[in-house]
Amino acid sequence: AQSVTQLDSQVPVFEEAPVELRCNYSSSVSVYLFWYVQYPNQGLQLLLKYLSGSTLVKSINGFEAEFNKSQTSFHLRKPSVHISDTAEYFCAVTFTGGGNKLTFGTGTQLKVEL
Amino acid sequence: EAGVAQSPRYKIIEKRQSVAFWCNPISGHATLYWYQQILGQGPKLLIQFQNNGVVDDSQLPKDRFSAERLKGVDSTLKIQPAKLEDSAVYLCASSPGGAGGATYEQYFGPGTRLTVT
């Protein structure tokens, strides 16, 4: 069975500072990895995904994540955050042949302060 | 294109009452999912449909929860009778591919926040 661990439940950071949100997964088979963002009172939006190919994937708003198979990690990074990045971020995994069933982590609340 | 629509957005009921949620997926999406998101936790899959057939309902509490997707388009999720621990946000999502399809991106609706008192 697959599982996802997000060790940090909350990450406070000042505006324009860098941030890293950690995600580790457990799976005995090949996986596909995702980061979703949830703004207050809204549904989840896909931020970026790793399916295959380059292990470094990027979003249109400056986030990036790197798939590290040896460390079973998919950490999310941004070199300079903005107030508007304040939201909850969920890491999720599915696996080949798994019927597209997503397993989510418990989420990390990113709070950007002035 | 229009996103995933859900209604109602909020619902407050007393325990032992029944409640129903509605979801209309993105047009043409074959697969529809219902998730339960309890405060402080990540979403948990309750049931997955491909067209109008159930692919996975292993985590659906079938003694009180039921779901259907007639005609392979919109879907309803029902709870009867509700318990206090059912208080959560119920998210609907859809994806274009089938259960074994090549695309894995799921598109989520805004959710229905259920409070059971």
Highest mean pLDDT among A90-99, B72-81, B94-103, B104-113: B72-81
From A104, which residue of chain B is nearest by alpha-carbon distance?
B42
A89, β-bridge pairs:
A37, A108
B56 contacts A43? CB cut-off 8 A? no
Per-residue model confidence (pLDDT) at position B62: 94
* A46 vs B contacts (CB less than 8 Å): 105-107
Distance CA B48, CA B63 (A): 18
Contacts of A103 (CB under 8 A, 6+ apart): A2, A3, A4, A92, A93, A94, B45
A101 contacts B42? CB cut-off 8 A? no
B69: Cα within 13 Å, side-chain hemisphere: 24
Per-residue model confidence (pLDDT) at position A41: 79
Does the pLDDT at position A102 exceed 80?
yes
Quickly tell me which residue has 């799976």 as its tokens.
A27
A26-61 pLDDT, tens digit per residue, is 988 888 999 999 998 788 999 999 988 899 999 988
Does the pLDDT at position A4 exceed 70?
yes
Which has more confidence, B42 or A2? Answer: B42
Sheet-wide strand order for B5-7: B5-7, B19-24, B75-79, B65-68
Task: Show the tokens assigned to A79.
Answer: 């070199």
Of the pLDDT bands very low, low, confident and very high (cuts 50, 70, 90), residue A82 is: very high
Task: Show the tokens assigned to B66.
Answer: 């039921």
Residue B4 touches partner A, C-beta closer than 8 Å: yes
